[in-house]
Structure 1
Amino acid sequence: MRRKASPFSLVTLGVGTFLLVLAPLLAWYVEPRAAVNPIDIDTTAVYTGTGSVFDVEEVRTVPDQRITITQRVRGNVADSERSGKAAVWDVTTSVDTDKSLPAADPHDALDFTPHRWVNDRRTNRPVHCCGEKPYIQGEAYLKFPFDVQRRDYRWWDNTLGKTVTLRFQGVKKIRGYEGYRFTGTVPATRNGTRLVPGAIVDQPERPQVVAEEWYANHGIELVVDQATGRVLFARTGPRQTLRAPGGKKDAAVLLDSRKIQFTADTQKFAVDQAKKDSGQLRLVGRTLPVGAGVLGFVLAAVGAVLVARGRPRPESSASSASFESSQGPLTL
């Protein structure tokens, strides 16, 4: 008798073939499109440390002050969607001492800086549109690109107004979670001017002076999640000073701290989010493709064998001969 391929064998072969096609699609098409910067971001990072700050009421630099830096990042969804492929992030950074915290108005802070960063959602590179301010450059700012490499990166320093080269320094664990460590420093660099009373910059005979603003950084340390580029830990050592016009040395210290870093709560939030996001990328980019590929190969092989066994077979010569002999000779 002739056998037909069973529905089960055909379904098995079909499912296996589908999974074999799905596996590379997940790895090469879905995963890259999942690795994009969000447009609806709303996060707050808090840094704390101690250092010297200029007290405008006492008109002098006061040492050993507790310093809090609060950085809030909010995505502008409407502007992001209008841009096509960019994420538009509005960023506010405030620097406070205990005297100005809690502040009903952020403008009462020691320093308050609003700006807008527009980035390519896939590459993390700056996109110069949508009211970007200032003109940001470099490869990384607030976060690194996805799939961070073991190399140096150009990090945008908003206080400096330029990029800083951060060098790869190996790996480091934050709350038990491993990330890539990058470090860098900033030498004393003029970064602007400010109108101040002459007495502040050792020129008491002049009521007001356009003083030079200088900025340096004792040390920047960032620990970054390799898969997502999220900053797990950040430490900075800013020094901001004033000099008289053309002066060769600092006349007043506005802010000076060797170490201001993420609080424990900010570190925990960053690590938890990195685990979640990198896990999702790993699921789509590796776990599911490998699983689909292996299962698809097995099912396709089993289905092919079952289909082959169920195909019609030609009748053998022995069967034909037997049939003829059983009939006997034909007579009229």
Structure 2
Amino acid sequence: MRRTASPLSLILLGTGVFLLVLAPLLVWYVQPRAKVTPIDVDTVTVFTGTGSYFDTRRIATVSGRPLTITRQVRGDVADSVRSGRAVWDVSTSVDAAHTLPAAATHDSLQWTLERWVTDRRTNEPVHCCEETPAFDGEAYLKFPFDVEKRSYRWWDGTLGSTVNLRFAGTKKVQGYEGYRFTGRVEPAKTGTRLVPGRLVGQPGRPQVLAEEWYSNHGIELVVDRRTGRIMNAAIGPRKVLRAPGSAKDAVVLLDSRRMEFTPATQRAQVALASADNRKLRLLGETVPLGAVVLGTLLTAAGTVLLLRGGRRAPGERGRHDFDAAPAM
């Protein structure tokens, strides 16, 4: 007799096949497209440490004082959507105790406003959308997705160039492990500044175009491997003035052996990295694996039911039934 497939077997088989097709689709298509730099960001990171700075009230360098670096990153959503890039406006201020809160940027020891534009998938710099200044490198406020155990070219805005950061193992930040990268900046001339001659050892000259020199005692970044988010950062900036053509530091404008993310900033960065990781792991591992397992089981169950067949369709007669019928 002819058997008909039961609706249940077809549902199980169809659902199983769908899940088996969905699994690689999530891994190879959906997850890679989820690995994009966000555009609707509004974050504040704070570095603290101690060091020296030039106090304009005393016209002298003071030492052993608390220093704070505050950086706010805001995404320009309209320009990002229009350009298809990640457009971030970055405000950075360096403050002593008497110039805080950092919101009063006109009182800060140093304040800069920059616009950074990057490719949302590769993290490569993109020169558009009124970017300022033009920059280069592979890593900036974040590293690319899927960070590798190798050296990266990190953009140092004060230097105006890239710094080679070497992979230096792993390190935990607030209990969360990341890749550690380190480097340093040797003294380099970064510009000039018109100052009274006496500041740079030339009292006989009322104004001197002094040279600004910058170096960094040490850079240490701890980065989340999957997302490239920087969970902790420590830097050792040093800025000085030199008389024109001199190799000797005349005035220390800023100097700190180590300024590091505050514990609150570390916790916030770790929380963001953890949340982003969960989303990517869900799309790239958890859901695809579950889809494969469940899809295999459902496909197998549907196939078994289909092969075993269902009940005879109502009113249907088999071939032998017709053979046994009396002739008219």
TM-score range, shorter chain: over 0.9
Q: Give the counterpart letter for 2:209 in structure 1.
A: V
* 1:102, distance to aligned residue in structure 2 (A): 2.1
Matched, 1:124 2:123: yes
* 1:162, distance to aligned residue in structure 2 (A): 0.3
* 1:104, distance to aligned residue in structure 2 (A): 5.5
SS at match of 1:258: coil
* 1:103, distance to aligned residue in structure 2 (A): 5.0
What is the CA–CA distance in structure 1 between the aligned matches of 2:147 and 2:185, rounded to whole Å? Answer: 23
Q: Which residue of 2 aligns with 1:82?
A: 82
Q: Which residue of 1 aligns with 2:315?
A: none
* 1:28, distance to aligned residue in structure 2 (A): 0.8
Structure with bigger gyration radius:
1
Alpha carbons of structure 1 residues 206 and 2: separation in structure 2 relative to 1, 3 Å:
same
Identity over aligned pairs, percent: 62
Q: Which residue of 2 aligns with 1:69?
A: 69
Paired residues of 1:9 and 1:303 also in contact (CA < 8 A): yes
Q: Deviations over 1:240-268 (max 9, x none)?
A: 00111111111111001001000010000
Q: Give the counterpart letter for 2:57 in structure 1.
A: E
Paired residues of 1:118 and 1:132 also in contact (CA < 8 A): yes
Q: Which residue of 2 aligns with 1:316?
A: none
Q: Deviations over 1:89-122 (max 9, x none)?
A: 0001000000111255312100001101001111
Paired residues of 1:43 and 1:72 also in contact (CA < 8 A): yes
What is the CA–CA distance in structure 1 between the aligned matches of 2:109 and 2:160, rounded to whole Å? Answer: 19
Paired residues of 1:51 and 1:256 also in contact (CA < 8 A): yes
Q: Which residue of 2 aligns with 1:164?
A: 163
Q: Which residue of 2 aligns with 1:46?
A: 46
Paired residues of 1:217 and 1:236 also in contact (CA < 8 A): yes
TM-score of the superposed pair, with normalisation by structure 2:
0.94
Matched, 1:13 2:7: no
Paired residues of 1:2 and 1:312 also in contact (CA < 8 A): no
Q: Give the counterpart letter for 1:17 in structure 2.
A: V
* 1:4, distance to aligned residue in structure 2 (A): 1.1
* 1:2, distance to aligned residue in structure 2 (A): 2.8
What is the CA–CA distance in structure 2 between the aligned matches of 1:103 and 1:323, rounded to whole Å? Answer: 95
What is the CA–CA distance in structure 2 between the aligned matches of 1:322 and 1:110, rounded to whole Å? Answer: 101
What is the CA–CA distance in structure 1 between the aligned matches of 2:66 and 2:319, rounded to whole Å? Answer: 101
Matched, 1:257 2:256: yes
Alpha carbons of structure 1 residues 56 and 16: separation in structure 2 relative to 1, 3 Å:
same
What is the CA–CA distance in structure 1 between the aligned matches of 2:319 and 2:3, rounded to whole Å? Answer: 18
What is the CA–CA distance in structure 2 between the aligned matches of 1:111 and 1:320, rounded to whole Å? Answer: 95
Paired residues of 2:93 and 2:102 also in contact (CA < 8 A): no
Paired residues of 1:195 and 1:208 also in contact (CA < 8 A): yes
Moved more, 293-302 or 47-56: 293-302
Q: Give the counterpart letter for 2:123 in structure 1.
A: N
* 1:320, distance to aligned residue in structure 2 (A): 8.8
Matched, 1:270 2:269: yes
Q: Deviations over 1:191-242 (max 9, x none)?
A: 1111111111111111111111100000000000011111110000001001
- What does 1:250-329 align with in structure 2 at a 5 Å threshold? 250-310=249-309
- What does 1:49-198 align with in structure 2 at a 5 Å threshold? 49-83=49-83, 85-102=84-101, 105-198=104-197
* 1:56, distance to aligned residue in structure 2 (A): 1.1
Paired residues of 2:70 and 2:102 also in contact (CA < 8 A): no
* 1:322, distance to aligned residue in structure 2 (A): 12
What is the CA–CA distance in structure 2 between the aligned matches of 1:281 and 1:60, rounded to whole Å? Answer: 52
Paired residues of 2:86 and 2:118 also in contact (CA < 8 A): yes
Q: Which residue of 2 aligns with 1:205?
A: 204
What is the CA–CA distance in structure 2 between the aligned matches of 1:321 and 1:165, rounded to whole Å? Answer: 85
SS at match of 1:40: coil
SS at match of 1:26: helix
Alpha carbons of structure 1 residues 192 and 327: separation in structure 2 relative to 1, 3 Å:
closer
Q: Give the counterpart letter for 1:58 in structure 2.
A: R
Paired residues of 1:48 and 1:260 also in contact (CA < 8 A): yes
Moved more, 288-297 or 164-173: 288-297
* 1:321, distance to aligned residue in structure 2 (A): 9.6
Alpha carbons of structure 1 residues 321 and 133: separation in structure 2 relative to 1, 3 Å:
closer
* 1:308, distance to aligned residue in structure 2 (A): 1.8
What is the CA–CA distance in structure 2 between the aligned matches of 1:158 and 1:309, rounded to whole Å? Answer: 71
What is the CA–CA distance in structure 2 between the aligned matches of 1:302 and 1:327, rounded to whole Å? Answer: 39
What is the CA–CA distance in structure 2 between the aligned matches of 1:107 and 1:300, rounded to whole Å? Answer: 67
What is the CA–CA distance in structure 2 between the aligned matches of 1:132 and 1:302, rounded to whole Å? Answer: 58
What is the CA–CA distance in structure 1 between the aligned matches of 2:282 and 2:146, rounded to whole Å? Answer: 15
Q: Which residue of 1 aligns with 2:236?
A: 237
Over aligned residues, Cα RMSD in angstroms?
A: 2.0
Q: Give the counterpart letter for 1:63 in structure 2.
A: S
Gaps of 5+ in 2: 313-317
TM-score of the superposed pair, with normalisation by structure 1:
0.93
